């Protein structure tokens, strides 16, 4: 019997754990799940006869050593900062490891040691990063094999609401970590377009949008991710003239969100004094110039050149930032105060479903003609446990783990899934689960 050690039982691990348990009898697996909240781990395994749980403490190295030593593979769904700790112990004990997280410098530094130990350390196997890598490389390799040359690559992903749950003016609710959403994009976005490097500061990020449409679910806008340039090396496209990665939102979201950016409400660097005595109207007014005659609404609309009765102001009024209602927080940054409000107004309801949308656009030349492939994926969540996020993060990790255990994947060292040996069998098994791409191929019109 092969033991699968799962570290971390959070929401994104739900579908993965279910996959392991559903196939435990077939493949003779035993699944052990550790989490600092053992009750949560108990909930995820639901008493399955081929499972056990334990209270996990990253600082208790003797327990971790014992668990890793007994495992055939370790799957880490811990916070990313803990992966190198687990990985280092896996190398010593010659136990392969799988994660959904980005490869850190510390993880990359273990490559030679992992190869010497004869084990694989598979990373970036979630949705983004993960499915984005695999689906992109499948098309890139196909174009190259046909003799084509990639001249442009655009890729975007969005964690959004399923159409049937899209029922507020922002067309958005929190389906994953709220803090990450509030702080999204802070820093400078970098990409290359037609051979020209572009650097977009945070204050302009939500002005620089692209538009797209995805079959079956409609229109979206895309704002740039922080660093698109590094993906040239990941996909072996170092001489490509256009490389862009972005985040998808419904039309109108970014223009309205930009109000918070321009006001300074997403600032997370200082605490607001007397926040416990402040109303939302006072908080909003705090960011605006002094004018004893004008209302808060009038000052904000004038400052940002908004239509007083336009859609953006309607979104803001719906949130309640002009209400004479207490903030309900103490000792908080502007970003934390804003998050507190949004968690109330953008609450993911008990019957809501989420949606993951991903789209790639490949521009290439072949036999003297310029062509374009648009490849799109849509996944709708089942419920609050098996969300679209949990399905798309957990399923490829689970499949990769299975393929590692049964010997289909034979690599050693630190890897991301950009080679055929990894992406081909994983994508083949994702398709019957509903995680598949629809491709449209056409002549490129510019």
The pLDDT value given to residue 60: 92
CATH number of the domain where residue 106 is located: 3.40.50.720
Query: How far is it, in rounded angstroms, from Cα 340 to Cα 73?
Result: 39
CB atoms within 10 A of CB 318: 12
pLDDT tens digits, 270-288: 999 999 999 999 999 999 9
Closest by CA position to 118, among listed 421, 413, 417, 422 = 413
Q: How far is CA 89 from CA 6, 13, 63, 86, 442, in A?
A: 15, 22, 12, 5, 50
Structural domain contains residue 170:
no
Cis status of the peptide bond prior to 129, with omega within 30 of 0: yes
**Cβ burial, residue 159 (10 Å; 0-12/13-18/19+):** buried
Averaged pLDDT for residues 118-122: 98
The pLDDT value given to residue 446: 76
Question: Binning pLDDT at 50, 70 and 90, where does residue 333 land?
Answer: very high
The pLDDT value given to residue 429: 98
From 149-163, 171-185, 217-231, 307-321, the region with the lowest mean pLDDT = 171-185
Looking at the DSSP bridge assignments, the partners of residue 121 are 97, 414
Instruction: Please state the φ and ψ torsions of residue 360, each to the nearest 5 degrees.
Output: -115, 150
Structural domain contains residue 278:
no
The pLDDT value given to residue 217: 97
The pLDDT value given to residue 150: 97
Closest by CA position to 435, among listed 368, 388, 386 = 388
Q: At what angle do helices 311-319 and 253-263 cross, to 10 degrees?
A: 70
Question: Binning pLDDT at 50, 70 and 90, where does residue 40 land?
Answer: very high
Averaged pLDDT for residues 96-104: 96
Query: How far is it, in rounded angstroms, from Cα 380 to Cα 223?
Result: 22
Name the percent of the chain in helix, strand, coil, to the closest 5.
Answer: 40, 25, 35
Structural domain contains residue 243:
no
Q: H-helix or E-strand containing 214?
A: strand 210-214
Q: How far is CA 394 from CA 37, 85, 121, 128, in A?
A: 19, 21, 17, 12
Q: What pTM does this model have? A: 0.95
230: tokens are 């590094």
Average pLDDT, the chain: 96
Query: How far is it, in rounded angstroms, from Cα 206 to Cα 201?
Result: 10
Query: How far is it, in rounded angstroms, from Cα 200 to Cα 191?
Result: 9
The pLDDT value given to residue 381: 97
Closest by CA position to 157, among listed 253, 252, 241, 244 = 244
Question: Binning pLDDT at 50, 70 and 90, where does residue 445 land?
Answer: confident
Query: How far is it, in rounded angstroms, from Cα 95 to Cα 203?
Result: 46
Structural domain contains residue 108:
yes
Instruction: Answer whether 299's CB lies under 8 Å from 359's CB.
Output: no
The CA-based angle 412-227-175, given to 5 degrees, is: 85
The pLDDT value given to residue 265: 98
pLDDT score of 63 more than 90 = yes
Structural domain contains residue 84:
yes
Query: How far is it, in rounded angstroms, from Cα 21 to Cα 276?
Result: 48
Structural domain contains residue 306:
no
Question: Binning pLDDT at 50, 70 and 90, where does residue 409 land?
Answer: very high
Structural domain contains residue 284:
no
Phi-psi category of 46—alpha, beta or left, where left has phi over 0 and alpha has psi -120 to 50?
A: left
Question: Binning pLDDT at 50, 70 and 90, where does residue 124 land?
Answer: very high
Question: Binning pLDDT at 50, 70 and 90, where does residue 37 land?
Answer: very high
Query: How far is it, in rounded angstroms, from Cα 292 to Cα 139?
Result: 60
Q: How many domains does the chain have?
A: 1
pLDDT tens digits, 207-237: 999 999 999 999 999 999 999 999 999 999 9
287: tokens are 């960011």
The domain of 121 spans: 2-127+387-433
pLDDT tens digits, 347-389: 999 999 999 999 999 999 999 999 999 999 999 999 999 999 9
Question: Binning pLDDT at 50, 70 and 90, where does residue 176 land?
Answer: confident
Structural domain contains residue 9:
yes
pLDDT score of 299 more than 80 = yes
pLDDT tens digits, 45-57: 999 999 999 999 9
Q: How far is CA 404 from CA 47, 196, 221, 304, in A?
A: 26, 41, 38, 54
């Amino acid at each position: 019997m092969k033991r699968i050690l799962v570290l971390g039982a959070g929401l994104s691990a739900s579908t993965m754990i279910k996959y392991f348990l559903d196939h435990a009898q077939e493949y003779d697996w035993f699944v052990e799940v550790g989490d600092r909240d053992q009750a949560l781990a108990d909930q995820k395994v639901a008493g399955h006869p081929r499972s056990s749980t334990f209270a996990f403490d990253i600082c208790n190295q003797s327990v971790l050593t014992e668990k890793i030593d007994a495992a055939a593979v370790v799957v880490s769904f811990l916070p990313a900062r803990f992966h190198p700790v687990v990985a280092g112990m896996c190398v010593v004990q010659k136990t392969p490891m799988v994660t959904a997280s980005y490869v850190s410098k510390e993880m990359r530094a273990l490559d030679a040691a992992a190869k010497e130990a004869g084990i694989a350390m598979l990373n970036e196997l979630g949705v983004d990063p993960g499915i984005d890598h695999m689906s992109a490389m499948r098309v890139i390799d196909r174009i190259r094999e046909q003799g084509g040359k990639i001249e442009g690559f655009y890729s975007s992903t969005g964690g959004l609401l399923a159409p049937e749950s899209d029922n507020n003016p922002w067309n958005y609710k929190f389906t994953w970590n709220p803090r990450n959403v509030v702080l999204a994009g802070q820093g400078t976005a970098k990409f290359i377009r037609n051979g020209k490097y572009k650097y977009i500061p945070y204050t302009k990020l939500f002005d620089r949008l692209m538009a797209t449409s995805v079959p079956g679910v409609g229109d979206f806008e895309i704002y740039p991710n922080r660093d698109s340039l590094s993906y040239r090396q990941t996909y072996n496209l170092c001489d490509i003239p256009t490389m862009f990665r972005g985040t998808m939102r419904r039309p109108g979201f970014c223009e309205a969100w930009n109000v918070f950016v321009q006001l300074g409400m997403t600032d997370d660097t200082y605490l607001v004094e007397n926040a416990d005595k402040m109303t939302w109207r006072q908080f909003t007014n705090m960011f605006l110039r002094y004018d004893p005659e004008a209302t808060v609404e009038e000052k904000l609309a004038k400052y940002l050149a908004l239509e007083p009765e336009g859609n953006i102001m309607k979104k803001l009024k719906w949130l309640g930032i002009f209400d004479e209602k207490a903030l309900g927080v103490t000792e908080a940054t502007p970003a934390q105060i804003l998050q507190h409000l949004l968690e109330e107004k953008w609450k993911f309801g008990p019957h809501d479903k989420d949606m993951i949308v991903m789209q790639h656009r490949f521009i290439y030349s072949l036999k003297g003609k310029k062509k374009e492939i648009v490849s799109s994926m849509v996944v709708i969540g089942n419920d609050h446990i098996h969300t679209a996020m949990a399905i798309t993060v957990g399923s490829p990790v689970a499949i990769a783990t299975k393929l590692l255990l049964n010997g289909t994947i034979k690599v050693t060292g630190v890897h991301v899934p950009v080679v055929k040996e990894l992406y081909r069998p994983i994508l083949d098994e994702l398709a019957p689960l509903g995680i598949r791409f629809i491709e449209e191929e056409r002549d490129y019109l510019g």
